[in-house]
Structure 1
Amino acid sequence: MIDLIRMSIPFNEDFCSGDATESHGLVDLQVCQWNGAKLESGEVEYEPDGSVTVSRLRHPFESIPSSNSSLSFKIYSGGLNYWPHIELKASPAKLLQGHNVYGTCDVEKCIFALVQAFNVGMPNLTTMLDWHLAEIQHIDVTFTAQMESQSQGRQAIAALKNISSGQTRSSKNSHATTCYFGVNSQGKKSSRHKQLKIYLKGAELEHQINELLQKVKNSNIPLYKKQLDIMQSSEVRGFAENALRFEASVLSRMLQRLGIPRLVSEFIDYAKSYEGCLIEALWTEAFKDVFAALGNEKMTVFDDEDILNKLKIEFGKVSEKTGNTSYAKANRLFRFYRSFKNEGYEEVKRTTAKNTFHDNMRQLCLVVSKAHLQNLKGIASNVVPMLRVINVDFSKQHPASYVEPEHLCDQISLRAVS
């Protein structure tokens, strides 16, 4: 699916000063404000007579609400080394259907969703732009592997953090549910061609739902309630629950390297004439080094989700200050339990300090019998090739009941009629 599009549209020369042939010029931000943009000032001066002078005008990223989600845009006013333009950024999946757990690979439909949302939200500002020169700057292409459980998904993330192949190396970070490639240890992008992100979609969706619950509580904006209803649906939540998401941010330099046009009109035509699915091809190219490495890697699979859940119930601790529940002790005991599966009872007992071993055993046996632990021999039957565990099936990227969303312009027309 297409998860995000970032595109730039230059201003028409009639609204700019400068030389378009030399790619430098300026647009009058005040004219942009008259046409609907909300500006902010870097400097405000109050005169004794009560008048106010503002200067150093700039345009921050501004959000345009649409029927299912919102679109962000920003005006870049120009300078000596670039032509003034507007940047649009949004998830077409969210614009078309209210969530991005799954979605469409239709390039034209996704691009037109951004264009339509901007044209409806900023009807005057859009007339100042040269749309035939619009370019793709960045496109996120995403596909999902369904894991057997959330626990197995976290194990896969931990294993993926050790992967490196060719020019693709994982970035060390502290997120238990996310793994990055093409991002340095400070969280900054280290590649101008692509960035890769592998994460548990269920955890991200629950975070988004919690944020929306707070927004619904604090405001009466109908859009938030609509988004919340969509995200909380059993179909969306069910698909996201055990989903391991592989997201590739394909930047303009990668498109250039692959000989793919960046002009929006040409990009759409290229996708239409492409033999197969262009989005699948871009994703496969972006992740080829990672999956090449996976072919030689194995991981230990523990499927005792029930034991982990029981440990969380038994040892979860609610903070009096924040109200959040900590599962640090439960996770520590679960790692102790997994050591039995990996090494066997006798080996764990032999290599663990006596007091530590007995303390952990006493607590662990509240949810699992000692006889079960003593029968774990540490055999390697739970060590399997990672490719067997992480299987991205292009034919199973949405629920069986999924129906392609209508074009955004058609959705708006239908709502106007109804």
Structure 2
Amino acid sequence: MLDMAGISIPFLSEHVAETDHGGLLRNIEFLCAELGMTLEGEVFWENGQRNVQRLRHKFESLPSSFASLAYKVTDGTDFKRWPYVRISGCPAKLLQGHNVYGSDNADLCIMSLVEAFTLAFPELSTSLDWFHATIDFIDVTYSAQVENEVVAQQVIDTLRHLNYGQTRLSADHKKFKTTIYWNKGSEHKELKAYLKLPELDNQIKQLTRKWVNEKHDHLKYQIEQITKPHIREAATGAVRFEARLKSRWLTANGIPCTLAYFTNPENQPDFPALWAKAFNDIFRTFAGATMNAHDNTEVLNQLRAIHFRMTPNGNISYAKAETLYDLYTAIMKDGFKKTKDRICERSRATWKRKIDDLQSAGLSLAQLMQFTGENANVIPLIRLINVDFANQLPADFTEPLPLSRQLKQPQLRLAS
């Protein structure tokens, strides 16, 4: 599903005074005085009418519970150097009131953000150059379903130690019990794995608290949607893998980051393939696991079965297998990182060769990386992580109507 998206729309040149460094809006006060908006805020629809208010959160770090459309007017003072409006929101929440599951139809999802903004601010929208609007990022999310929340938490605990290639654990990877981040702050892609049910419970608490104070109908509607039994059932045991793909990464992978491209019904990026490529480093660590890394006897027997040699006098030597077993027990005792650092002080090539040998015997990197040297009862669960693209949606799911049809407003279509 497309879980979040950000779009930047520049102002038309007739509304901009050009400068040596780009441009400035001719009359920014017009936005506040005549359009009834702040320079940074959120808009939601209630009984077919727009409701605009100041944004409660930093625009750059909207929480996962955010269900409205956020907007920010920038007066050509940042790196883009030309005045523009940035909008950001969750298509599924705008279209159906929840994002436990949802569509990955690019046209439907991206247009939901566009329609939410243009229908709320029709006057401002005519001042924007939609033809040159660009996609800043998209969040592509798919889930692995496990049997219960206990197993789901164990999966997160296993994933918490995985680093590989260009995908690095963020510094705060131990800060959140049910969430892990990789490449946080990267200008190319950010990855996240988390449990959906705790997030859903937190969202219910936040919305209920807001409903007590504000009594907006759209809050009541969201609470009704996310507290339905089948929604909770879908969230239970769901381990979510979210890839925030930014414009640099998308462009490098052959996806034009233009609004016209994403809203053309004939263009449908292969989101599962893009998502898999983004998570490739993480999932590569699972490869090759054919035995239980916590069964010492099984590991030793398998090492002996793979790494032996015949001596000149016809005897079998298990010297290499025994050396590799010593490395395996050191990793179990001291942890993967500490053992790696110690051996790499002498020779990185030696470390790589020995790890390759352990992998050839059926131990995966993910299994080895879960050993941290701490006395934690980590259960080997790599085999349970199975993202089934064919079963991301309920059997009776139907695509929601475009937002304009839900609001009974004229449907928009962008000219490419």
The TM-score with structure 1 as length reference comes to: 0.68
CA deviation after TM superposition for structure 1 residue 116, in Å: 0.7
Instruction: Give the match for residue 273 of structure 2.
Output: 281
**More strand by proportion, 1 or 2?**
1
Q: Does 1:16 align with 2:6?
A: no
Distance between the aligned counterparts of 1:242 and 1:280, measured in 2?
21
Runs (4+) of structure 1 exceeding 4 A deviation are: 296-301, 382-385
Q: Tell me the residue number matched to 2:283.
A: 291
What is the aligned partner in structure 1 of residue 24 from structure 2? 26
Q: Any conservation in 1 of the 2:110–2:262 contact (CA below 8 Å)?
A: no
Q: Offset at 1:219? A: 2.1
Q: 1:29 to 1:161 in 2, by over 3 A?
A: same
- Matching residue of 1:369: none
Flag the 1:124–1:114 CA change in 2: closer, same or farther, 3 A: same
SS of the equivalent of 2:391 reads coil
What stretches of structure 2 of length at least 5 have no aligned partner?
48-66, 295-377, 411-416
Q: What is the aligned partner in structure 1 of residue 91 from structure 2?
A: 92
**2:408 is aligned with 1:407:** no
Shift of 1:259: 2.2
Counterpart amino acid of residue 134 in structure 2: E
CA contact (8 A) 1:235 1:399 kept: no
Contact 1:139 1:249 in 2 (8 A): yes
Relative to 1, partners in 2 of residues 1:16 and 1:146: Cα closer, same or farther, differing over 3 Å?
same
The one-letter code matched in structure 1 to 2:220 is K
Q: Identity rate of aligned residues, in percent?
A: 36
Matched, 1:198 2:180: no
Distance in 2 (CA, whole Å) between partners of 1:100 and 1:300 is 36
In the alignment, is residue 272 of structure 1 matched against residue 266 of structure 2?
yes
User: Contact conserved, 2:108 with 2:263, CA < 8 A, in 1?
Assistant: no
| Contact 1:35-1:125 within 8 A present in 2 as well | no
175 and 405 in structure 1: CA distance in 2 versus 1, 3 angstrom threshold = same
Change over 3 Å in CA distance of 1:283–1:37 after alignment to 2: farther
Q: Is the 8 A contact 1:96 1:405 kept in 2?
A: yes
Q: 1:261 aligns with which of 256, 264, 275?
A: 256
Distance 1:220 1:175 in 2: 31
Number of aligned residue pairs: give it. Answer: 304
* Cα distance in 2 between the residues matched to 1:299 and 1:221: 53
Quickly say closer, same or farther: Cα 1:38–1:67, change in 2 above 3 A: closer
The Cα of 1:23 is off from its aligned counterpart by 6.8
Aligned to 2:182: 181
Give the alignment of 1:348-363 within 5 angstroms.
none
CA RMSD in angstroms, aligned pairs only: 2.5
Q: Distance in 1 between matches of 2:251 and 2:408?
A: 37
Q: Within the alignment, does 1:395 sit opposite 2:390 as a pair?
A: yes
Q: Deviations over 1:322-358 (max 9, x none)?
A: xxxxxxxxxxxxxxxxxxxxxxxxxxxxxxxxxxxxx
Contact 2:71 2:85 in 1 (8 A): yes
Deviation at 1:66, TM superposition (A): 2.5
Q: Give distance in 1, aligned partners of 2:380 and 2:151.
A: 12
Q: 8 Å contact 1:299–1:385 — kept in the other structure? A: no
Shift of 1:296: 4.3
